[in-house]
């Protein structure tokens, strides 16, 4: 990824509009900024959230609060706790997120 044409700026995430994205269970709340082809998000998953799809988009994801469970389509499972991250390329490994307690994440994709 090459990042060009992005002037220096700060983001107050509390002032970025929050959008709701329902899962099979629970909801995800996104605060999104876009910089050309790069999307940067602050995500909050409600307790009991389960994604409604297998995602094939690449991400760099950092867990700020809570606990995120990520299942790969091949059956492998991973748990992120605060201070942990994962990274996956576009179309590399389909993955699906869930959380029992809720989670707050910072995502670049």
Calculate ∠ Cα 9-10-13, nearest 5°: 140
pLDDT digits (tens, 9 = 90+) for 11-40: 999 999 999 999 999 999 999 999 988 999
Confidence of residue 3 (pLDDT cuts 50, 70, 90): confident
Q: Give the span between the Cα atoms of 76 and 17, in whole angstroms.
A: 34
The CATH number of 41-108 is which of 2.60.120.560, 3.60.10.10, 2.60.120.10, 3.30.70.270?
2.60.120.10
How many Cβ atoms sit within 10 Å of the Cβ of residue 45? 25
Question: What integer pLDDT is reported at residue 95 of this predicted model?
Answer: 97
Tell me the average pLDDT across 60-82: 97
Radius of gyration of the chain (CA): 14
Tell me the average pLDDT across 6-13: 94
The pTM (predicted TM-score) of the whole model is 0.92
Residue 18 · residue 31 · CB < 8 Å: yes
pLDDT digits (tens, 9 = 90+) for 40-70: 999 999 999 999 999 999 999 999 999 999 9
Question: What integer pLDDT is reported at residue 39 of this predicted model?
Answer: 95
Please enumerate in sequence order all residues whose Cβ is within 8 A of that of 13, keeping only pairs 6 or more positions apart, or say none.
31, 42
The pLDDT of residue 1 is above 90: no
């Amino acid at each position: 990824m090459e990042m060009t044409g992005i002037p220096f700026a700060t983001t107050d995430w509390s002032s970025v509009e929050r959008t709701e994205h329902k899962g099979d269970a629970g909801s995800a709340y996104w605060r999104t900024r876009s910089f050309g082809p790069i999307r940067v998000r602050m995500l909050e998953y409600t307790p009991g959230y389960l994604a409604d799809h297998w995602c094939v988009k690449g991400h760099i994801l950092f867990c700020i609060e809570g606990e995120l469970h990520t299942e790969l389509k091949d059956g492998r499972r991973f748990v992120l706790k605060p201070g942990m991250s994962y990274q996956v390329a576009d179309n590399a490994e389909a993955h699906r997120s869930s959380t029992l307690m809720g989670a707050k994440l910072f995502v670049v994709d």
